[in-house]
Amino acid sequence: MPITLPNDLPAFDILSDEGVMVMSPGRAATQDIRPLRIGLLNLMPKKIQTENQFARLIGATPLQIDFQLIRMSDHESRNTAADHMESFYRPFREVEASGEKFDGLIITGAPIEHLPFEEVTYWDELTRVFGWTQTHVHSTFGVCWGGMAMAWHFHGLPKHLLDAKAFGCFRHENTAPASPYLRGFSDDLLIPVSRWTEVRAEDVAKRPALHTLLSSEEVGPCLIEDPGHRALYIFNHLEYDSTTLKEEYDRDIAGGKPANVPVNYYPDDDPSRPPSNRWRSHAHLLYGNWINEIYQTTEYDITKIGDTGQ
């Protein structure tokens, strides 16, 4: 089944060329089917790159997905053209006022890790988003800073600044093989990491409402389930493209910034050689499992989401 995207969204042609089945809203409206409605609250500077990454993953399942793009209401993007934002994104204020509901919502990371959560300019509105998910979204997926922010808001789980950036591809252990979100997962796997902060295992252990599903001895907890808030928090980046870490490394080098070669990423740690993608299959598994869990448990009548004490 396809993912529904506007014909003129850049992801439409990019994913079509990759073989992902995409469909225009007009064509989707002619089908007698209830698609899953998945929102992307995109906090990343490079909006188009992030759209493509997540649309690629959630569009690969057998289910029809209605993909909606959302932004913070009063925060202007300086890295994405204004006409793109105007054409394809709706401010959260408008979504909230409409009363509409979603089967799933992805909240991305943001390059603001050094700030205390409460000092982020849009923190007040973001906490409204978190509260809104409890009545208007069936399942929420917080990614990197987005996941840390949700865990802080709901559980007071702190983030800690690192002395050096965690940057590269790190081995992770599957600590909950019976979890429906980890169906088909290997016992261990490689996951891209790029962050200046961490969540610590000892802090998670003090919060029995949180369950760690994936973790690394080197970079700590990665994937946490929060059943009470129908949420997953992932602090690393299975959604990354093959060259995302390379682009970040090259940008830092070109800008004269100190930058370590990303760990375990290039063949023989040689930046002159093209990196290979060793996490793509697990990325598809994770987001496919999330979509499947939503499909199995969400309301058929989407207007009833949040009305049954779920």
At CA 229, angle to CA 36 and CA 92, rounded to 5?
60
CA–CA distance from 28 to each of 2, 36, 133, 137 (Å)? 9, 12, 26, 22
Which positions ≥6 away from 148 have C-beta within 8 Å? 142, 157, 159, 197, 199, 233, 235
Q: How many residues does the chain have?
A: 310
At CA 257, angle to CA 251 and CA 259, rounded to 5?
80
Helix axes 47-58, 10-18, angle to 10 degrees: 40
Residue 239 a catalytic site member: yes
Q: How far apart are the first and last CA of the chain?
A: 27
At CA 83, angle to CA 77 and CA 85, rounded to 5?
45
**Which residue is catalytic, options 51, 198, 225, 239?**
239
- How far apart CA 257 and CA 272 sit, in angstroms, is 19
CA–CA distance from 165 to each of 66, 260, 298 (Å)? 36, 9, 38
Residue 222 a catalytic site member: no
**Which residue is catalytic, options 138, 155, 172, 237?**
237
Residue 144 a catalytic site member: yes
The sign of the torsion formed by the CA atoms of 271, 274, 276, 277 equals: positive
Q: Which bin fits 139, alpha (ψ -120 to 50), beta or left (φ > 0)?
A: beta
**Which residue is catalytic, options 144, 153, 172, 229?**
144
Mind telling me the catalytic residues? Answer: 144, 237, 239
